[in-house]
Structure formats: C-alpha cells, structure tokens
Amino acid sequence: MKPIPLHFTWDYNDVDRAFWAEHLEGWLPRRIIDAHIHVSSARYRTEPVTEQMRRQYWVNEVSAPMDGPTADHCIRTVFPERKVTCVAFGHASLAFDIEAANEYTRTECLKRGWHSLAVLRPEWSAERVARELAKPGVLGLKPYYSLISRDPGTRDRHLDADIFDFLPHHVLEVANERGAWVTLHVPKADRLGHPANIRQIRQLRERYPDVVLVIAHLGRSYTEPHAREGIPPLADDPGLYWDVSATFNPASFRVAMRHIGPERLLWGTDNPVFFMRGRREWRGRTYFNRTSGDFHFNRNEHEPPDVEAKYTLYTYEALKTLKDVCAELGVGREGVQAIFHDNAEGLMQSVLDAKRARGEQ
C-alpha cells in the first residue's frame, strides 16, 4: 500500500502496518490515553531554530510543531480501531509565544474531547496561574527549566536549576488548592537521581499533597543506571505518578515495573518526536538514536539500507518493548489497561471533579 504522510519527514508504510498487526493490534486496549503529547503550531514560533540549535541537541532537529489536525490524523493512522484521547501541551520554549500557543493547544484539544496542560512561565503571578487553570479543558501545568530565561544558543542554560526555580512555591500553592495536574520534566545532568531532585520532589509531595504530580519520562530514565538511581528512592510514594513517554529501554521499564508497578504508570508518546523511524541503542549512561533520516546526530552512523528499510516508528518500538516487559514480569490485561487508560482517566476525573465543584468546566 502507498505510504501515508504523518508529520515532518515521517510517514506510515507497510513495515508499520505489518508491525502493528503482528505485535500490537491484539495487545493494546481499545481505549487509550496519551498522557504526554505536544500539540502546537509553527505560527506561534517567534524565533527560528538555528543551525547551532540543531547541532546542539537531536530533539531540536525532529520536533517541528505538530498542529491539532495533524495530531488527530497521525493518531488515527498509527492507532487504527482505537479510541485515543490526549493530555496535550505545546512546546516548552521561550522561542514561542507561550500565551498564544497555550490558547491554541487548549482550543484544539476542546474540539476533540482532549485535555491540555498550560506551559508555565515561572514569573506568572498566583492570580495569573489561577486564571489559566480555570479555563475550560485545562487540567494543569507543564513547567520546564528552559522557561526561566531565553538563551538562543542552548536549551540547557538552566539545566542545573532547582525544581522550585521553574516551578515556584506560589504556583504550587495555587495548583495544590485546585488539585491541578503538573507534569514535571526533572532538571540536572544526573537526571532524577540527583540528590537535589529527590529531596525537592519529596518536599513538593509533603508540602503540596493535592497536586497531581506526574514525573515525565520516568524522570528522564532513558538508561538503566539512571533508572536505578532515580526511581527506587521515590517509588514508595503512592501519590506520585510517572509517565513513560520517550522511554523504551527494557531495563528502565523493568525497574519501573518492579518498583512502581502498573498502578501508577501512565503511557505517553512525546510525539511528534516518536514518529521518527528507527531504533535506539544504549551505551552505559548514554543512548544513541538510529534513524533513516539524514540529521546531524546520525550522519556518520547509518546502518545498511536493507536494515534501515525495516525500521518502524519509535512509537511502535516503545510499545513492543513495554509489551515484552509486561509479559516477562507477568503484568496481565488489568495492568496493561491501567497503564494505557485507567490511571490517566482516574487522575483526569479527579481534576475535572474539582473544577466542576468550583463551577468551572
């Protein structure tokens, strides 16, 4: 069959159709919630991506903004015969008009019965945060360390910031009062396992227990050492949730499943990034993305054409890895249903019930 264009340079072809039929169609639940997806529009980008930025970090090369209609089209194509809803947010970057982009994401989500998180500017007042959270369709906030201040040369100027530098206490007070959802991408080069991150997440949970706190990307545990350092110290908190977006190291999944269990994991894609085709390799505390695309990060490390021709979507590779780990550890249909739908549904309902109690939509 003819390939179907997805987004950016990616498409959906017969390799993907066969992979879906063999590995995923009979395993994935009929209802799915993608708890970590980026929906935005290029028209809200106020500064172009420079060549320096493309070379600095691989995501900068493949994260072209994906608008609402395109996201809808991609989801329907990649997940046939599934009802998929989303918790979406825009690009957490000061190269965008944050306020306008948030409104775009919110309205596009409302059209489709999805929900959104507002990308947070840490300098917003408590009143400004409350107004954002009161809007129809907004479940909560998406903070990020790069939003502290703009640096056109790198997204990592504030990588070693503390969590409370970009998710300040006055914001958390409002989020706690309202029972809002916060998806936290942890800072630090050492990722979740950095002692400051562990300490501050514990402080956040103790001081703001009604915040629905979701740790993004398993705390950036893309390698087994990072998973072993970061996940176990926080795993005993029954009110802390974790999304698995952009993660498909089987060792990381094993650590998460053994220490957290399926009851507090949320599935997410981090798309549009994971529409990329290829596979990932892990080298100690680092990883490398193989893909058939021609980018700075893989220009000298292509595999033979006949191997690359068999690449499928990163989204599918991540799902197959999670499937294999679930089978290995005895996670049955109930646990799979929890990861892909029920856990996120429960969190969404808790936020929506609180909004309705205040007379909000």
8 A C-beta contact, residue 1 and residue 15: no
C-alpha to C-alpha distance for 305 and 47, rounded to whole angstroms:
36
Cβ neighbours around 330 below 10 Å, total: 8
**pLDDT band, very low/low/confident/very high, at 48 (cuts 50, 70, 90):** confident
Q: Which amino acid is at 133?
A: L
Question: What was the pLDDT predicted at 253?
Answer: 98
Q: How many domains does the chain have?
A: 1
**DSSP-based three-state secondary structure for 118:** strand
Tell me which residue range forms the domain holding 104: 4-357
Bridge partners for 288 per DSSP: 281
Taking each helix axis as running N to C, give the angle between helix 314-329 and helix 250-259, from 0 to 180 degrees, rounded to the nearest 10.
50
**pLDDT band, very low/low/confident/very high, at 53 (cuts 50, 70, 90):** confident
Laid out side by side, the sheet with 265-266 consists of 31-38, 83-89, 115-119, 138-142, 181-184, 212-215, 241-243, 265-266
- Whose CA is closest to 186, among 168, 174, 198? 198
The answer for residues whose C-beta is within 8 angstroms of residue 168's C-beta and 6 or more apart is 122
Question: What was the pLDDT predicted at 325?
Answer: 98
**50-54, 60-64, 93-97, 230-234: range with highest mean pLDDT:** 230-234
Per-residue pLDDT reduced to its tens digit, 98-150: 999 999 999 999 999 999 999 999 999 999 999 999 999 999 999 999 999 88
Question: What was the pLDDT predicted at 214?
Answer: 98
C-alpha to C-alpha distance for 270 and 214, rounded to whole angstroms:
14
Question: What was the pLDDT predicted at 62?
Answer: 86
Question: What was the pLDDT predicted at 152?
Answer: 75
Average pLDDT over residues 277-287: 93
CATH of the domain at 104: 3.20.20.140
Residue 99 φ then ψ, to 5°: -65, -45
For the chain, how many helices (H) and strands (E)? 16, 12
**pLDDT band, very low/low/confident/very high, at 174 (cuts 50, 70, 90):** very high
